[in-house]
Amino acid sequence: MKTLKGKFLALFIFFIAVNILAGVFVINTISKQKADAVVINLAGKQRMLSQKMTKEAFAMSQGIEKEDALKGTMELFERTLVGLLNGDSGLGLPPTRNIQVVAQLNKITPLWKDFKKNLDAIKGSANERSQALAFISGHDAELMGKMNESVEMMEKAGLPSQVINLAGRQRMLIQKLSKESSLLCQGNVSEETLLKTSDLFGKTLDGLIQGDKDLGLAALDDKNILAKLKETEKLWKQFLENIRLVVKGSGEINQALSYVQANNLALLTDSNLTVGMFEDESRGKVERLQAIQWIVVLIMVLSVLMGWVFIVSPLVKLLTQTVQDMTEGATQVSSASEQVSQSSQSLAEGANDQAASLEETSSSLEEMAAMTNKTSEGAAFANSLAQECRQGAEEGMKAMEQTIASMGKINDSTGQMGKIIKTIEEIAFQTNLLALNAAVEAARAGEAGKGFAVVAEEVRNLAQRSATAAKDTSTLIAESIARAEEGKKIAETAGSSLTKVLEEIQKVAEHLKQITMSAREQSDGVTQVSKAVTAMDRVTQQNAATAEESAAASEELSAQAAHLKEVVNRILNLVTGEEGSLEADRIPSVARKPVLARKFQRPLPQAARKKTNGFKAIPPKREVRPDEVIPMD
């Protein structure tokens, strides 16, 4: 480690080792922090899930929410709870190692089991109750139909009005039972109300079949009516069984809901405590990471100070002396460069003339290029416009012809629609007459025809509305015919306008001919540019001859190269620790005579031309820096 190379290598290896260790620790800590973020996020999500389960259970009890939503929320809550405790790669959860957090999670587990048990009870009872409600809503029409048939048979048999009224009331009770069953699930009707209505229906049905003194009903002896009531009774038993299932399910659901609502706060509180513990643990990891980072920074600072004291400071002293020696040699090199500057004066003057000619040529080329581009673009654009205008005019003429034909078809269709409207008016008139006749017949029938009279009145109203609508439609059709005629006239006007457009296209073609003549004039300008380039070529040859004279002066610089070799040898010995002389090919030879071309391939730019005006060579005064000649490998 005595050489500069060895010292720098040791310091570099030390820096790499410290950075690798620090990077491994930081990456490991960051990965843990990412996992902690997932843990805290999912733990916090548990609080939302507990609230969501309570809300979904309540909605499911009312028949608003389906079972799948509550089931999915429960499965996600349970999976997350188990994952927080034992780990879950699918959720990105590592196993919990903190004893306090594990104890808190174990405290939540039994509470969740009871919570889940009641949620399962809500799901089971809700499904059973939903099936019962489906049966009630699906068979209430059938039960009402059987009661209607029984009432009609009683009316034909001439039974007392009290019996017929009680039988007719049964139809209202069926609707009431179906409605109260739904309201019970929503919590808007009590169980007693539904059971009271069902008892009244059952008692009335039994009284119609067997007789009931309380209701003033005698036993029926008509076999046909009894048979129909027996069919009704059979369906009623199934109906009543499902009503009882609805009542039973509502009680179980209400009990389970009471538990869920009462214990939701406890589950939420324990979840909040768990999230707080996870956050405290994550903050502890961050504090440890900050402490390690400060230690790494301190080690880096100490390493830099030691490198400065033992390596950089001695090197600076030695390089300072070396640079002073090199500066003396550079001064002598500057003296020789004055001769090169004098020879360059002639070269600069020739380059000045060349740049002036180049400026004129460049200006002419730019003008010619601009004119050519504009001419080309104008011709292409005009040609494109002419083609598009012609195509658009042709398509417009076709469209106008199609529009005129369509207007004629619209007139024909409108006439047919008028005939149809007249037919509708006649039908409405006949319907109105039939409704009047039906109302007269219903009036003759007395009480038995009241319902039919209401229907006849509604039919009459509908007939009048149909006649009014037909009249309005006829008016609209007349307006459509007038507008179609107006549209046809507009289309003919547009056709004449398109004819004028075609005439304008011919004028555009004449402008294209004028553009072609302008392009020929631009060709003459290009010929003048070619002559200017020939003149610049002669000036360039003169500049090349002057440059060869400048090359002779550079031979004087080779005498100073030997002294610079000795100085660089000392620096090389410091870097590699080996004795020896610098090879001649390690330093580019400045005494080599340059080979200059007779013609420049590219002219000088405008900025370079301005700098050469009144040019006087000034010897360089810059000192040579050590890093320009020291091989630091």
What value does the CA radius of gyration of the chain take, rounded to a whole number of Å?
54
In this predicted model, what pLDDT tens digit does every residue of 123-135 receive, in sequence order? 655 566 666 666 7
Average pLDDT on 290-304 reads 74
Query: What Cα–Cα distance (Å) separates residue 335 from each residue in 339, 547, 600, 623, 625?
Result: 8, 19, 29, 14, 19
> Buried (b) or exposed (e) across 479-488, using 16+ Cβ within 10 A?
eeeeebeeeb
C-alpha closest to that of 232 among 139, 157, 94:
139
pTM above 0.75, yes or no: no
Per-residue pLDDT for 586 more than 50? Answer: no
Q: Confidence class of residue 46 from pLDDT cuts 50, 70 and 90? A: low
CA dist., res. 597 & res. 94, Å (int):
75
The whole-number pLDDT of residue 550 equals 64
Q: Identity (one letter) of the amino acid at 170? A: Q
**3-state SS assignment for residue 593:** coil
pLDDT tens, position by position, 461-490: 888 888 788 788 878 877 777 777 777 778
- Total number of residues shown for the chain: 633
Q: Are 133 and 63 in contact (CB under 8 A)?
A: yes
The CATH T-level fold of domain 4-128+253-311 is Four Helix Bundle (Hemerythrin (Met), subunit A) (1.20.120)
Query: Comparing 102-106, 428-432, 436-440, which segment has the lowest mean pLDDT?
Result: 102-106
Q: Which residue has the higher pLDDT, 583 or 560?
A: 560
**What pLDDT, in 10s, does the model give residues 205-259?**
788 888 877 777 777 788 888 888 888 888 888 888 877 766 665 555 666 565 6
| Buried-state track 306-337, b at ≥16 Cβ within 10 A, e below 16 | ebeeeeeeeeeeebeebbeebeebbeebeebb
pLDDT in tens, 157-189: 888 888 888 888 888 888 887 787 666 666 666
Residue linked to tokens 């199609």: 402
pLDDT of residue 367: 75
Continuous segment of H or E residues that includes residue 438: helix 313-445
Question: What tokens does 224 get?
Answer: 């046909």
Q: Domains of the chain: which residue ranges? A: 4-128+253-311, 160-248, 346-544
| Tokens coding 268 | 């939420």
Confidence at 309, pLDDT banded by 50, 70, 90:
confident
- What's the CA gap between 357 and 363, in Å, rounded? 10
In this predicted structure, the answer to whether residue 154 has a pLDDT above a threshold of 70 is yes
Hey, is 88 helix, strand or coil? strand
Q: Which pLDDT band holds residue 621 (cuts at 50, 70, 90)? A: very low
Please state which CATH number belongs to domain 346-544: 1.10.287.950
Tell me how far CA of residue 496 lies from CA of 170, 391, 489, 517, 550, in angstroms: 80, 16, 11, 34, 82
Which candidate, 403, 414, 413, places its Cα nearest to that of 492? Answer: 403
Q: Phi and psi (nearest 5°) for 212?
A: -155, 115
Residue 403 in contact with residue 463, Cβ under 8 Å?
A: no
Tell me how far apart the alpha carbons of residues 363 and 385 are, in angstroms, rounded to a whole number. Answer: 33
CA distance 604 to 354: 8
CA angle 11, 16, 19 (to 5 degrees): 125
